[in-house]
């Protein structure tokens, strides 16, 4: 009988520990949770498995494969995401090698010198880790582990020791808990500190960080900035947390919208970034 349950009761981290310590071989499937008519011990509707949401495979206690439903886990998509194939190469390969197994495609790409064997191994490894770290913060979902069931022979399996994955995953969970404690709501706003120009002197920010900086204005709720920049909740919270830790921005309660005829104009203005401040910062940086 396969091992099964719900990660609400037996977390992904605990499952990974079990796989590692017992050196299990097989595939873990996490499903969409659907409510049923049956009640559990707490008199709440029991959750039953729906569609598969994630697959994670293990071989002798090592992580070898991971995929999320709705996410392209093919070799071409993985290499494109890692920057090893550009968009045009990806488009051509998806058309010409649509039905080619990943192992055969890997040999073709190596032979044509698109990538090296090390590129393929490293990119697949990073893809697996990204999926698993994502799963480690899931808090609900039925699961089932099928012993000795592995992906097809044409899948590329990359063995990864579980112990460092579990340690890193636990650290990320703690970091996310700290971030959520610091920013419990998306209704907060952002502002620059009084000495913003001095603090930005010599600072090198990533593109996404600059995008958030461009919308820093006490009138802009974080929820609005997230939607404008098409970011996830945790993505924008992490960026704001890093910028705050560096002393570049401050987190404040949103300003109330004015009442009266001017409220519409104010609402339109609050959607725009504080351009004067941003342009002043950029000019200052260029002059350094």
Local confidence band at 270 (pLDDT 50, 70, 90 cut-offs): very low
- DSSP 3-state helix, strand, coil percentages of the chain (rounded to 5)? 45, 20, 35
Q: What is the mean pLDDT of residues 187-203?
A: 87
Please state, rounded to an integer, the average pLDDT across all residues of the chain.
87
Q: How much is the average pLDDT of 203-231?
A: 93
Confidence of residue 199 (pLDDT cuts 50, 70, 90): confident
Residue 283: predicted pLDDT: 57
179 φ/ψ angles, rounded to the nearest 5 degrees: -65, -45
Beta strands in the chain (DSSP E): 3-6, 26-39, 45-59, 62-68, 142-147, 189-191, 250-252
Name residue 238's beta-bridge partners.
Answer: none
**Looking at residue 256, what is its pLDDT?**
56
Q: Angle at the Cα of 250 (from 211 to 233), degrees rounded to 5?
A: 50
Lowest-pLDDT range, 82-96, 147-161, 187-201? 187-201
Give φ, ψ of 49 to 5 degrees.
-65, 135
pTM as predicted: 0.75
Asked if 65 and 57 count as a contact pair (C-beta separation under 8 A), the reply is yes
Q: Which of 26-35, 201-210, 233-242, 273-282 has the lowest mean pLDDT?
A: 273-282
Angle between helical axes of 12-22 and 117-135 (0-180°, round to 10)? 130
**Residue 211: which of 278, 128, 261, 260 has the closest Cα?**
278
Domain ranges across the chain: 3-170, 189-286
The mean pLDDT of 242-252, rounded to a whole number, is: 93
- pLDDT band with cut points at 50, 70 and 90 for residue 264: low
CA distances from 14 to 83, 100, 114, 144, 265 (A): 33, 36, 39, 14, 53
**pLDDT of amino acid 44:** 76
What mean pLDDT do residues 185-214 have? 89
Give the Cα separation of 232 and 236 in Å (integer): 6
pLDDT for 265 beyond 70: no
CA 141 from centre of chain = 18
Alpha helices in 112-161 (DSSP H): 117-135
Give the model confidence (pLDDT) of 131-152 as tens digits.
999 999 898 999 999 999 999 8
Task: State percent of the chain over pLDDT 70.
Answer: 87
Residues 6+ apart with CB under 8 A from 185: none
- pLDDT surpassing 90 at residue 229: yes
91 pLDDT tier (thresholds 50, 70, 90): very high
Identify the pLDDT of residue 198: 82
Q: In the structure encoding, which two tokens stand for residue 73, read together?
A: 């886990």
Q: Provide CB contacts within 8 A for 201, sequence distance 6+.
A: 284, 285, 288
For 23, residues 6+ apart whose C-beta sits below 8 A from its C-beta are 60, 61
Q: Residue 129's CB: how many other CB atoms inside 10 A?
A: 18
> 8: Cβ–Cβ under 8 A, 6 or more apart, which residues?
47, 139, 140, 141
Instruction: Give SS3 for 5.
Output: strand
- Least confident among 11-20, 107-116, 155-164, 255-264: 255-264
SS3 179: helix
Average pLDDT over residues 5-24: 94
């Amino acid at each position: 009988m396969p091992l099964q349950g719900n990660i609400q009761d037996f977390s992904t981290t605990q499952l990974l520990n079990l796989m590692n310590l017992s050196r299990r071989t097989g595939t873990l499937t996490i499903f969409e949770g659907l409510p049923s008519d049956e009640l559990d011990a707490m008199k709440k509707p029991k959750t039953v498995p729906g569609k598969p949401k994630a697959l994670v495979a293990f071989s002798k206690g090592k992580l070898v494969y991971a995929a999320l439903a709705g996410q392209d886990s093919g070799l071409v998509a993985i290499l494109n995401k890692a920057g090893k194939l550009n968009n045009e190469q990806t488009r051509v390969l998806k058309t010409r090698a649509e039905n080619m197994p990943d192992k055969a495609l890997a040999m073709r790409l190596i032979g044509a010198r698109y990538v090296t064997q090390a590129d393929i191994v490293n990119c697949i490894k990073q893809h697996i880790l990204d999926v698993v770290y994502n799963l480690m913060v899931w808090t609900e979902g039925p699961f089932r582990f099928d012993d000795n069931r592995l992906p097809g022979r044409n899948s590329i399996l990359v063995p990864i020791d579980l112990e460092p994955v579990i340690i890193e995953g636990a650290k990320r969970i703690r970091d996310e808990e700290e971030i959520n404690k610091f920013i419990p709501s998306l209704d907060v706003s952002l502002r620059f500190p009084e000495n913003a120009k001095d603090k930005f002197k010599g600072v090198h920010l990533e593109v996404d960080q600059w995008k958030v900086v461009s919308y820093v204005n006490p009138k802009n709720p974080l929820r609005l900035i997230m939607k404008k920049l098409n970011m996830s909740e945790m993505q924008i919270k992490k960026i704001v947390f890093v910028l705050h830790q560096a002393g570049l921005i401050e987190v404040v309660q949103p300003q109330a919208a004015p009442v009266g005829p001017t409220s519409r104009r104010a609402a339109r203005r609050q959607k725009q970034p504080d351009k004067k401040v941003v342009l002043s910062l950029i000019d200052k940086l260029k002059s350094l």
